[in-house]
């Protein structure tokens, strides 16, 4: 593995490349990553980097987002099969029908969506800024897609804003039930329960903290508590265990695994960098329209 890591680092330098890694990736990928974090942080890094090549250790919509906002850079997705189940729940046609059923209502799209879908939306959001973005529209009604759970969570935090949601979700997070949180409270009464807002809103409501993957990690960093129940994908718990050996982390369920996120390996990162394969390409008119949607988010979340 050491050899592999050295080779990747050397190639990165030679080719002026950066590696962006989502915090659900296999933990060894951090050894070669320049930036590790949540989807908002990674899209900000994709925009500001001076690199010629971005290798995105994440899933397809994330690499596509990097290409949308940095079209002059070559963006590579090391494993071409790394998709997102939630993003796959809405295509362009479904998006158009959703809008048709609710005319003249501003549309917020979660970053977990394709460029074709983003191109039809007013503004993008991530799990860390969804509330801020919906608020920024200053409208009594908002369409939100594809994540119904995040949309309804945002609605529960606002006064007099109706958030009309598309019927999509993340099967990994949607799998958590109220009884799972109640059991964790009973078994670990001293632990803080940290929840990703892709969980059902009735589940999120029971958390001590609700936030993005980076938000959860930041909460632990600032906390004096010693025990935490992690209600998101296993990669977050793995990194917390590595970074805080004196604290205890309990993953809410052992099957909190995003299979797509785990597809990418160090071997594939090396191969994609060496041969520059699996490059993200986009139709320019779709790119431009989806860029508007993401740029508006980046501006509003500054």
Residue 278 binding ligand 13P, by CB under 6 A: no
The residue from 25, 112, 174, 290 that contacts ligand 13P (CB under 6 A) is: 112
- Quick one: tokens of 41? 């942080």
Scanning the structure block, which residue is given the tokens 């500054």? Answer: 302
Judged by CB under 6 A, does residue 261 bind ligand SF4?
A: yes
* 212 touches ligand 13P (CB under 6 A): yes
Residues numbered 90 to 129 that lie near ligand SF4 (CB under 6 A) are 112
Q: Is 238 in the site for ligand SF4 (CB under 6 A)?
A: no
| Element at 210 (helix H, strand E) | strand 209-210
Question: Closest distance between ligand SF4 and the C-beta of residue 201, in Å?
Answer: 16
Burial grade of 175 (CB within 10 A; 0-12, 13-18, 19 or more): middle
SS3 state at 216: helix
Task: Check if the beta carbon of residue 138 is closer than 8 Å to that of residue 117.
Answer: no
Check if the beta carbon of residue 37 is closer than 8 Å to that of residue 212.
no
Stretch near ligand 13P under the rule CB under 6 A, chosen from 10-18, 126-134, 181-189, 281-289: 126-134
Rounded Cα gap, residues 151 and 156, in angstroms: 9
Stretch that binds ligand SF4, among 64-72, 78-86, 119-127, 222-230 (CB under 6 A): 78-86
Q: For ligand SF4, which residue of 42, 59, 143, 230 counts as binding (CB under 6 A)?
A: 59
Residue 38 interaction partner, one of ligand SF4, ligand 13P, none, beta carbon < 5-8 Å per kind? ligand 13P
- Order the strands of the 74-76 sheet from edge to edge: 35-37, 17-22, 53-57, 74-76
Q: Which residues bind ligand SF4 (CB under 6 A)?
A: 59, 84-86, 112, 170, 172, 198, 233, 258, 260-261
């Amino acid at each position: 593995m050491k050899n592999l890591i050295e080779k990747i680092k050397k190639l990165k330098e030679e080719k002026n490349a950066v590696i962006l890694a989502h915090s659900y990736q296999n933990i060894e990928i951090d050894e070669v990553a320049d930036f590790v974090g949540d989807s908002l942080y990674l899209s900000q890094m994709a925009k500001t980097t001076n690199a010629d090549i971005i290798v995105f250790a994440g899933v397809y919509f994330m690499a596509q987002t990097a290409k949308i906002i940095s079209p002059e850079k070559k963006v590579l997705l090391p494993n071409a099969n790394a998709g997102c189940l939630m993003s796959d729940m809405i295509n362009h046609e479904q998006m158009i029908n959703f809008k048709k059923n609710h005319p003249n209502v501003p549309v917020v799209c979660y970053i977990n969506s394709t460029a074709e879908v983003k191109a039809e939306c007013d503004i993008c959001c991530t799990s860390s800024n969804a509330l801020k973005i919906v608020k920024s529209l200053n409208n009594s009604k908002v369409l939100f897609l594809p994540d119904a759970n995040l949309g309804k969570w945002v609605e529960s935090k606002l006064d007099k804003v109706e958030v009309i949601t598309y019927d999509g979700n993340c099967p990994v997070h949607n799998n958590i039930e109220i009884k799972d949180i109640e059991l964790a409270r009973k078994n670990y009464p001293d632990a803080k329960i940290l929840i990703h807002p892709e969980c059902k809103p009735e589940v999120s409501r029971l958390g001590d903290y609700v936030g993005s993957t980076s938000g959860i990690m930041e909460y632990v960093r600032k906390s004096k508590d010693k025990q935490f129940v992690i209600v998101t994908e296993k990669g977050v718990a793995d990194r917390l265990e590595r970074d805080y050996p004196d604290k205890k982390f309990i993953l809410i369920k052992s099957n909190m695994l995003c299979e797509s996120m785990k597809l990418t390996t160090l071997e594939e990162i090396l191969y994609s960098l060496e041969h520059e394969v699996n490059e993200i390409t986009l139709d320019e008119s779709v790119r431009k329209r989806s860029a508007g949607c993401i740029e508006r988010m980046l501006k509003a979340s500054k």
